[in-house]
C-alpha cells in the first residue's frame, strides 16, 4: 500500500495560507527576475571590452578558464599561510575562489554595494558584518564584540565541516605569546606584555546602554597564566577605568584609542618598566599638531564619498622634537629596550591608518 504524502503543517490553523497569481503576473515577475540577474554580468562584460585586452576580466570567459594565473596566485597565498596544503597545481576550489575574487572586485558590484550600504545606514541605522552601529555615535568592530561573547582566549572554537578546508592555520594568541617568551628567555631577554583593551572592553555603553566594563570571563585567567610563566604583564584596564571618568579613552568612529589615552598608556608603561641605563642627555621640545580622521570603522562601511554622514574626529598630537635640530627624535638602535606593537603604536604616525602624515615616529 502507498500512502499519500501529507503536509505536516496542514493541521495548524494559524499556518494555513493560499496564494494565487495570474499567468500574466507570473510571466511579468519571471521576466523582472531574469532581467535583474542578467543585466549586471552583461553590463560588466560590455564594460570590460572597453579596456585593453591585457586588462580584461570577463566573467563568462574566466569561469571556464580553470588554468588561470589568478588561480595559481590563490594557491600560492594559501600555501604561505598553511603548511597543510601539499598540492602544487591549482584545484577547482582554487579556480572558483579566484573567480569569486574577480566578481567581488567588479565595478558594478562595488557600486551597488555602496548604494545598499548607504540605504541600510540611513534608513535602518544598521552597519555590516564588520561594523556595529551603537548608540550616540559609537561604532564598534564586530569581530571584537564576537570575541568578547564567544569561546574566548582559553577555549578553542570547535571546528566545522562547512569551513574552508584551505583556510589559513590560526594559532591562538596565548600559545604564540608563551612561545615567544620562551625564545626570549633562552637568550636572556625579559618580555613585558602590555595587552591593549579593545573599545567594547572599556567603553561598551554604545552597545550595552550602561557604563562599566565588558570583559570576557577568561580574560583574568589569561593574564594570570602569562604571569605564572614568568611574563611581566602590565594591565591598562584600571588606568583606563580611571581616565574614562574624565574623557573618552577610545575614538567613537575608530578601533583605536584617543591621543590622550595613548599618552596615559605610554606614561604608565614607562613608570612600570625599569629604565635603568636608558637615560640619555637630549634636550627636547613638544610641538602640538592638529589632525583629524573619520576613522577606520567608517572606512569599513564602504560608503561612497558622496555620503557625508560622519564628521571627522579631531585629535591634537604632541610631536617630540630635538630642540637643537627641530627634527623628530630618532630611535636609538643601541637601546637595550625594544618596543614591539601593532597599529596602536603607530596610529598617529602611519598615514594609511588615518591620523598621521608620516612626519614623525614619536607622535603621541
Q: What is the pLDDT along the chain (364 residues), one digit of tens a residue?
A: 445 556 655 555 555 667 777 889 999 999 999 998 888 778 778 888 888 888 787 877 888 888 888 899 999 999 988 888 888 899 998 999 998 888 777 766 777 788 888 888 888 889 999 999 999 999 999 999 999 988 888 887 777 666 777 877 777 788 899 999 999 999 999 899 999 999 999 999 999 888 777 899 999 999 999 999 999 999 999 999 999 999 999 999 999 999 999 999 999 998 888 766 566 667 888 888 899 999 999 999 988 887 888 999 999 988 888 888 888 887 778 878 888 888 999 898 888 887 876 554 555 5
Alpha helices in 210-251 (DSSP H): 219-228, 237-244
Long-range contacts of 63-67 (CB under 8 A, 24+ apart): 63/99, 65/95, 66/90, 66/92, 66/95
Output the nine-digit C-alpha cell for 88.
602544487
- Give bridge partners of residue 317 from the DSSP assignment: 289
314 and 198 inside one domain: yes
55 and 137 together in one domain: no
Q: Report how many domains make up the chain.
A: 2
DSSP string, 167-209: PPP---HHHHHHHHHHHHHHTT---EE-PPPPHHHH--HHHHS
Domain assignment present for 34: no
The reply to whether 78 falls in a domain is yes
Q: What predicted TM-score, i.e. pTM, was given to this entire model?
A: 0.78
Which residue's C-alpha cell is 570547535? 158
Same domain, residue pair 313 and 230: yes
The predicted pLDDT at position 108 comes to 67
Range of the domain at 72: 46-105
pLDDT (0 to 100) of residue 265: 95
Do 334 and 186 fall within a single domain?
yes
Per-position b or e across 168-188, b if 16+ CB within 10 A of its CB: eeeeeeeeebbeebeeeeeee
Helix (H, G, I), strand (E, B) or coil at 222: helix
Residues 328 and 286: their CA atoms lie apart, in Å, by 10
Amino acid at each position: 500500500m502507498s500512502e499519500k504524502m501529507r503536509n505536516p503543517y496542514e493541521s495548524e490553523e494559524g499556518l494555513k495560507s493560499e496564494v494565487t497569481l495570474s499567468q500574466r503576473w507570473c510571466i511579468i515577475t519571471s521576466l523582472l527576475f531574469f532581467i535583474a540577474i542578467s543585466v549586471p554580468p552583461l553590463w560588466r562584460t560590455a564594460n570590460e571590452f572597453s579596456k585593453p585586452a591585457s586588462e580584461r576580466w570577463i566573467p563568462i570567459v574566466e569561469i571556464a578558464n580553470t588554468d588561470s594565473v589568478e588561480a595559481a596566485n590563490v594557491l600560492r597565498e594559501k600555501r604561505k599561510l598553511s603548511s597543510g596544503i601539499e598540492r602544487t597545481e591549482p584545484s577547482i576550489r582554487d579556480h572558483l575562489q579566484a573567480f569569486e575574487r574577480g566578481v567581488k572586485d567588479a565595478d558594478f558590484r562595488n557600486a551597488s554595494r555602496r548604494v545598499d550600504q548607504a540605504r541600510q545606514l540611513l534608513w535602518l541605522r544598521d552597519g555590516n558584518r564588520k561594523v556595529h552601529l551603537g548608540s550616540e555615535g559609537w561604532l564598534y568592530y564586530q569581530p571584537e564584540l564576537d570575541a568578547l561573547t564567544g569561546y574566548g582566549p582559553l577555549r578553542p572554537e570547535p571546528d566545522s565541516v562547512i569551513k574552508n578546508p584551505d583556510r589559513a592555520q590560526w594559532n591562538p594568541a596565548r600559545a604564540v605569546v608563551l612561545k615567544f617568551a620562551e625564545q626570549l628567555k633562552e637568550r636572556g631577554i625579559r618580555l613585558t606584555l602590555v595587552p591593549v583593551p579593545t573599545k567594547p572592553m572599556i567603553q561598551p555603553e554604545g552597545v550595552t546602554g550602561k557604563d562599566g566594563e565588558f570583559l570576557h570571563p577568561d580574560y583574568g585567567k589569561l593574564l594570570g597564566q602569562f604571569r605564572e610563566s614568568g611574563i611581566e604583564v602590565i594591565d591598562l584596564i584600571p588606568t583606563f577605568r580611571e581616565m574614562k571618568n574624565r574623557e573618552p579613552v577610545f575614538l567613537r568612529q575608530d578601533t583605536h584609542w584617543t591621543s590622550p589615552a595613548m599618552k596615559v598608556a605610554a606614561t604608565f608603561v614607562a613608570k612600570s618598566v625599569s629604565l635603568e641605563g636608558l637615560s640619555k642627555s637630549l634636550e627636547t621640545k613638544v610641538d602640538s599638531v592638529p589632525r583629524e580622521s573619520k576613522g577606520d570603522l567608517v572606512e569599513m562601511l564602504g560608503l561612497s564619498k558622496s555620503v557625508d554622514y560622519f564628521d571627522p574626529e579631531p585629535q591634537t598630537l604632541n610631536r617630540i622634537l630635538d630642540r637643537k635640530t627641530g627634527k623628530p627624535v630618532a630611535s636609538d638602535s643601541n637601546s637595550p629596550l625594544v618596543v614591539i606593537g601593532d597599529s596602536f603604536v603607530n596610529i598617529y604616525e602611519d598615514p594609511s591608518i588615518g591620523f598621521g602624515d608620516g612626519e614623525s615616529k614619536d607622535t603621541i
